[in-house]
Amino acid sequence: MAGLIVLVNSVLLLLFGSDIFLVGANRPPAPVNVSVMHLRADSATVSWEVPEGDIIIGFSISQQRQDGHMQRFIREVNTTSRSCVLWDLEEETDYIIQVQSIGLYGESQASKKVHFRTLKKTDRFSSNSSNQDDPTVQGLDKSRHLQTGEMIIIVVVLVMWAAVIALFCRQYDIIKDNDSSNNKEKVKPLSERSTPEHQSGGLLRSKFHPSVPSINIIEV
């Protein structure tokens, strides 16, 4: 009986150990050439490379301040991206990052630690931040152009509405002035009306004439 138990335990250990070995063997290798570029006061871009021949479905980044006060983990799957933007950083602060690849059978070991320090808000960007081939920078430029285009559209719409309102007010004033003129023509004082004329061309005389006094001549 004791021998049977030992045999069962040995088989279980062998199977469990083989599974661990297969899973560990199928894990992707750690990312290489991890670098930080496009440093700013509140953001930075992390990029890395993955050895060829492995299926990578995502990445994981651990971000920590050098003094150890804050730690953040970023995990993204179903992506082939090899870069990531770190936001909400503090200016003039030292950070440490490590990158892991995510494969079909788990995560790789962490890459080597990379140290970087953010800039002041008054500092200019470093020279490598002007690289237009970086997808993150292109995305930021596109968002800026989109915001500018939206502002232009809003301004054009406002100007058109202002022109329509001004035209409407102008037409209303013209109609109001015409109505006032017509009312003045209809209502005139009697003194301004012309005196009616007789058919013969002369002025119509009054029907009542003062009586002429009669003169009696008496002969002596």
Measured on CA atoms in the order 122, 127, 129, 131, is the torsion positive or negative? positive
For the stretch 99-109, pLDDT in tens is 999 998 899 99
pLDDT of residue 136: 47
pLDDT of residue 127: 41
Cα torsion 34, 107, 77, 90 to 10°: value is -50
pLDDT of residue 145: 57
pTM recorded for the entire structure: 0.48
* pLDDT confidence band for 85 (50 / 70 / 90): very high
* pLDDT confidence band for 131 (50 / 70 / 90): very low
Q: Which of 36-40, 50-54, 179-183 has the highest mean pLDDT?
A: 36-40
Distances (CA, A) of 67 to 8, 29, 35, 71, 95: 51, 29, 20, 10, 8
What mean pLDDT is predicted for residues 126-155? 59
Of 34, 37, 44, give the one whose Cα is nearest residue 91.
44
Token match 């050895």: residue?
A: 51
Per-residue pLDDT at 47 exceeds 80: yes
Residues contacting 27, CB < 8 A, separation 6+: 103, 105, 106, 107, 108, 109
pLDDT of residue 23: 44
